[in-house]
């Protein structure tokens, strides 16, 4: 099979003007026009014979990353909210990577609400690789991880500061709800920084890559118990866990009891707990809820 030709600045300009696309901030439309960055993202994904079986891409845009993914993966489902971009994508892949065009399915949907009924699940998605729209990157990431538990590997590009927050460790200032919730699904790592000039239009801030190895087995009922505890613990960061969790457990003293049962100091703040602490709290004995 021939390899794909990746999109450079002239291709992006031509496609955008053909479609009469003026990129919007609202949809986070910053298109990659640098083949080296596309290769770097695909390399970072470290696809294996398992994780390359069915890749979800959110926001394929003009197809820059999609072209890298179709050559590396057996099947790619690209979810794009903008109907003009979704409609053009199959033709772009057929033009630039004709031998791989049948690997692609495009779904013109909002990734925030997509569910397994909306895509071909004959092989459930094994990976998520995307240059995410920045203003909704964390909600999309957490939504897809929840909806598609078969995802074993994630590589996403987000704003650099969001990447730092996702990969933050307990006890740091930037550690928060996204860090703990992402860690629920697996090992989260910061995987590189990307400058502004590889995009058209160039965003104001740098971007960062985040990888997640989703190795933790979990049940959705565990997640439904753990996530409200995480939300409550970080709602007012300055509060002790005893106070912050009083609403969830009915009173401060019942929260303290639950924390002690899980061997967690009730005077700590949420930012000190890692995901295994939250899981222990959720699973250690009865609460009054
Ligand atoms: N992947 C392309 C690239 O790297 O050049 C484009 C990335 S651009 C940062 C984000 C893309 O996500 C845009 O194509 C935008 O239309 C799309 N998008 C924005 N919000 C979305 C949503 N809620 N669901 C699906 N796609 C969305």
Q: What is the CATH number of the domain that holds 118?
A: 3.40.50.150
DSSP state of 194: E
Task: Report residue 286's pLDDT band, with 50, 70 and 90 as the boundaries.
Answer: low
* 3-state DSSP assignment of residue 278: helix
> Does the structure show a pLDDT above 50 at 127?
yes
Task: Report residue 1's pLDDT band, with 50, 70 and 90 as the boundaries.
Answer: confident
Provide residues with CB under 6 Å of ligand 1. 27-32, 58-62, 64-65, 79-82, 85, 110-112, 131, 133, 136
Round the average pLDDT of the chain to a whole number and report it.
96
Asked, for residue 55, whether it belongs to a domain, the answer is yes
Q: Which pLDDT belongs to residue 164?
A: 98
> Does the structure show a pLDDT above 80 at 289?
no
| Whether residues 103 and 200 fall in one domain | yes
Task: Report residue 121's pLDDT band, with 50, 70 and 90 as the boundaries.
Answer: very high
Asked if residues 77 and 119 have their Cβ atoms less than 8 Å apart, the reply is yes
State pLDDT tens for residues 9-27.
999 999 999 999 999 999 9
| Whether residues 101 and 195 fall in one domain | yes
| Whether residues 213 and 163 fall in one domain | yes
This prediction's pTM = 0.96
pLDDT average, residue stretch 33-37: 98
Domain boundary among 189, 217, 245: 217
State pLDDT tens for residues 54-77.
999 999 999 999 999 999 999 999
Task: Return the exposure string of 75-99: e unless at least 16 CB atoms fall within 10 Å of the residue's CB, then b.
Answer: bbbbbbbbeebbebbbebbeebbee
Which residue has a Cα nearest atom 18 of ligand 1? 59
Tell me the CA–centroid distance for residue 85 and ligand 1, in Å: 9
Q: Which pLDDT belongs to residue 285?
A: 67
Residue 258 domain boundaries: 221-283
**Nearest atom (ligand 1) to Cα of 12:** 5
Domain count, the chain: 2
Q: Looking at residue 248, which CATH number applies to its domain?
A: 1.10.8.100
Domain boundary among 194, 217, 240: 217
Which residue has a Cα nearest atom 12 of ligand 1? 59
> Does the structure show a pLDDT above 70 at 101?
yes
**Nearest atom (ligand 1) to Cα of 32:** 5
């Amino acid at each position: 099979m021939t390899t794909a030709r990746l999109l450079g600045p002239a291709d992006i300009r031509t496609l955008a003007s053909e479609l009469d696309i003026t990129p919007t901030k609202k949809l986070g439309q910053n298109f990659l026009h640098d083949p080296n960055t596309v290769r770097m993202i695909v390399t970072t994904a470290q696809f294996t014979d398992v994780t390359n079986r069915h890749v979800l891409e959110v926001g394929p845009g003009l197809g820059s990353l999609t072209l890298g993914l179709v050559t590396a993966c057996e099947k790619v489902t690209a979810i794009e909210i903008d109907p003009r971009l979704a409609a053009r994508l199959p033709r772009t892949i057929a033009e630039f990577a004709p031998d791989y065009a049948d690997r692609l399915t495009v779904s013109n949907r909002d990734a925030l609400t997509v569910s397994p009924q909306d895509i071909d699940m004959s092989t459930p998605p094994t990976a998520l690789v995307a240059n995410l729209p920045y203003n909704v990157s964390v909600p999309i990431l957490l939504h897809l991880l929840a909806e598609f538990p078969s995802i074993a590997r994630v590589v996403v590009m987000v704003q650099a500061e969001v990447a730092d927050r996702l990969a933050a460790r307990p006890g740091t200032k930037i550690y928060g709800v996204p860090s703990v919730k992402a860690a629920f699904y697996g090992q989260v790592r910061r995987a590189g920084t990307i400058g502004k000039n590889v995009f058209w239009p160039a965003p104001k801030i740098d971007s960062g890559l985040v990888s997640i190895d989703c190795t933790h087995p979990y049940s959705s009922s565990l997640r439904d118990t753990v996530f409200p505890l995480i939300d409550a613990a970080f709602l007012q960061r300055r509060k002790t866990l005893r106070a912050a969790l009083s609403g969830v457990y009915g009173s401060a003293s019942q929260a303290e009891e639950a924390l002690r049962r899980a061997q967690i100091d009730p005077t700590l703040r949420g930012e000190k707990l890692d995901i295994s602490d939250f899981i222990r709290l959720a699973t250690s004995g009865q609460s009054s809820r």
